[in-house]
Amino acid sequence: MKKNFLALKLIILSCISCFTLGFAAQSHAATDLPKIGEAAGSTLSVAKEQIIGDEIMAQIRRSEYLVKDPLITDYIQQLGHRLVAANPDALGRRFQFFVIQEDSINAFALPGGYIGIHTGLITASQSESELASVLGHEVAHVTQRHLARRLEKQGQLSLPVILGMIGSVIAATQDPEAGMAGVAATQAAAQQSIINHTRENEQEADRIGVAMLSSAGFDARDAANFFETLQQASRYTKKPPEILLTHPLSRNRIAATRSRAEMYPEIEHQSSMDYQLIKARVESQSKTHDNNYFINLRDKHRNGKLNRLSEQYQYAELLKSRALHIQSTAILEQLYAQNPNNQVLLFSLAEVQLAQDNNKKILPLLLEQLDKTPGSSKLINITAQVYLNMDDAKSAEKLLLRYADVNKNNPSYLYTLAQAQSKAGHIPEMHETTGQYLLLLGDLRTAKKHFELALNRTSEDPYAQTRIQARLDEVRQRLREQLQKKSDLRLSIN
């Protein structure tokens, strides 16, 4: 797992380099290729930055490391967008927050507003404000275009190196270890310069991040508190937390952040119930195979000492992971009865009821909550799953299509919709949705096949032909560009 995760990191870094620096070379003849040492960053517009981010994110979506849990993903998205709404510079830009399954403590921003955090950072945080402070810091890196600035300054790579990196990325989509070796061979020194922000970048992100944190209603002082916690923790290990390697920290920086936080009103922010539950869910997933941990919680439960909500929920999740559904249901039903509007508890209860085929029992509770919050993506997802489990594909499809526009970039939503359309007998629509899903995952060839199948079948949608043809044209263009990159790589090797 660790070896493969290293491969993913190298793929991400090489993608950033090769797609950015490759823009100047793209679709040009050999005579028009950039000169050695020519900076390509001067042509890096926000639109091109978005394309780079989309390419990298497609690779991440296809990896095993991306957390696909709707509850965790939805919570991080909501927390991230709460911070975005508090930053005027972020408005008008598209942001997407995601989680990587990795115990190390780290967070990173990619081109195009994609911001990732490790599960280890969630569990290491002591409050919601601390977690929000890291997301806010990464949002600031995006709004201030720090990554673009770094790329503009480091455009000193030769064409063979750029083409070698492209080849490594292509190879890595089929064989992570081969891709990792290729990246290491072609890009050794360039990688770290991409992710290491300058001192000025860090200071600017700290300043904007603290202001964002306060404006969003969090405790600005927790930004410095979290840095201090990380620095203290690093004293007892041979290697400091990974976030401190990519975001260098000093006592002066902590002091400056704390001093800046004092300029804002003191906010006694209480961590939300969702934060406590999501942190417990992440921890439970990391402890699935830890028998001693499970036994300790079981004994505390039997002795009536499992008092905290997060501990009770975590125990219920561990019971569920061991297929002990009756015991898990009893705890979750009690917790939901005590907190009848909490969607995290309802979602978890629905999961365990689904496992027992108790569809008719959970459906009224889900529909009641959906009436109160009709746009809740996690409730839409689980309710559609219940409908499918009841062999009511038409109701699942109808519910999902109601929110198609806001979920067009949500792979798990598209996957469920394709299932519903297939079971409802709407085959052309299923092919179109599957094509969109595969497009998000970067599987261009298979996406092309599904769009072609959708185009050649009759649909009830009068606009379907025009829409599908446009998507098919986009995929074909991207495939041509991919072939051109491979051709350029072969020429450079020969």
Kindly give, in sequence order, each residue whose CB lies less than 8 Å from that of residue 311, ignoring residues fewer than 6 positions away.
280, 297, 300
Residue/partner pairs of 399-404 with CB below 8 Å, 24 or more apart: 403/375, 403/377
User: Does the pLDDT at position 210 exceed 70?
Assistant: yes
Residue in this structure with the two tokens 């750029």, named with its chain if needed: 162
Kindly give, in sequence order, each residue whose CB lies less than 8 Å from that of residue 149, ignoring residues fewer than 6 positions away.
41, 201
3-state secondary structure of 12: helix
Encoded amino acid at 229, one letter: T
Convert the pLDDT of each residue in 96-144 to its tens digit. Answer: 999 999 988 888 888 889 999 999 999 999 999 999 999 999 999 899 8
pTM: 0.83
pLDDT of res. 200: 79
User: How far is Cα 433 from Cα 423, in angstroms, rounded to an integer?
Assistant: 13
pLDDT band at 235; cut points 50, 70, 90? low
pLDDT band at 445; cut points 50, 70, 90? very high
User: Does the pLDDT at position 320 exceed 50?
Assistant: yes
Cα atoms found within 13 Å of the Cα of residue 23, Cβ hemisphere only: 23
Alpha helices in 235-308 (DSSP H): 242-246, 251-261, 273-286, 291-302
Greater model confidence, 199 or 222: 222
- Phi, psi (rounded to 5 degrees) for 62: -85, -5
**Are 477 and 448 in contact, with CB atoms under 8 Å apart?**
no
Full set of structural domains in the chain with CATH: 2-261 (no CATH), 273-484 (1.25.40.10)
Greater model confidence, 250 or 417: 417
User: Does the pLDDT at position 11 exceed 70?
Assistant: no
Greater model confidence, 58 or 318: 318
User: How far is Cα 487 from Cα 163, in angstroms, rounded to an integer?
Assistant: 10
Q: Cα separations (Å) of 38 from 33, 34, 187, 190?
A: 10, 6, 17, 15
Convert the pLDDT of each residue in 288-312 to its tens digit. Answer: 999 999 999 999 999 999 989 999 9
**Are 104 and 118 in contact, with CB atoms under 8 Å apart?**
yes
Kindly give, in sequence order, each residue whose CB lies less than 8 Å from that of residue 351, ignoring residues fewer than 6 positions away.
320, 382
pLDDT band at 188; cut points 50, 70, 90? very low
Among the options 130, 206, 429, 488, which is catalytic?
Answer: 206
User: How far is Cα 61 from Cα 76, in angstroms, rounded to an integer?
Assistant: 16
Q: Which of 267, 266, 291, 247 is nearest to 108 (CA)?
A: 247
- Phi, psi (rounded to 5 degrees) for 367: -65, -35
Convert the pLDDT of each residue in 78-91 to its tens digit. Answer: 999 999 999 998 87
User: How far is Cα 463 from Cα 9, in angstroms, rounded to an integer?
Assistant: 41
**Are 29 and 133 in contact, with CB atoms under 8 Å apart?**
no
pLDDT of res. 232: 72
Query: Residue 432 catalytic?
Result: no
Cα atoms found within 13 Å of the Cα of residue 113, Cβ hemisphere only: 16
pLDDT band at 194; cut points 50, 70, 90? very low
**Are 40 and 23 in contact, with CB atoms under 8 Å apart?**
yes
Which class for 298: exposed (0-12), middle (13-18), buried (19 or more C-beta within 10 A)?
A: middle
Query: Residue 461 catalytic?
Result: no
- Phi, psi (rounded to 5 degrees) for 7: -60, -40
Q: State the chain's mean pLDDT as an integer.
A: 82
Quick one: average pLDDT of 431-459? 93
pLDDT of res. 364: 97
Would you list the DSSP string of 43-84? G--HHHHHHHHHHHHHHHHTSSSB---HHHHHHHHHHHHHHH
351-386 in b/e form (b: 16+ CB < 10 A) is bbbbeeebbeebbebbeebbeeeeebbbbbbbbbbb
Q: Which two tokens stand for residue 108?
A: 């990173």
Q: Which two tokens stand for residue 481?
A: 């560009």
Convert the pLDDT of each residue in 237-285 to its tens digit. Answer: 555 565 555 566 667 788 888 999 999 988 889 999 999 999 999 999 9
User: Does the pLDDT at position 337 exceed 50?
Assistant: yes
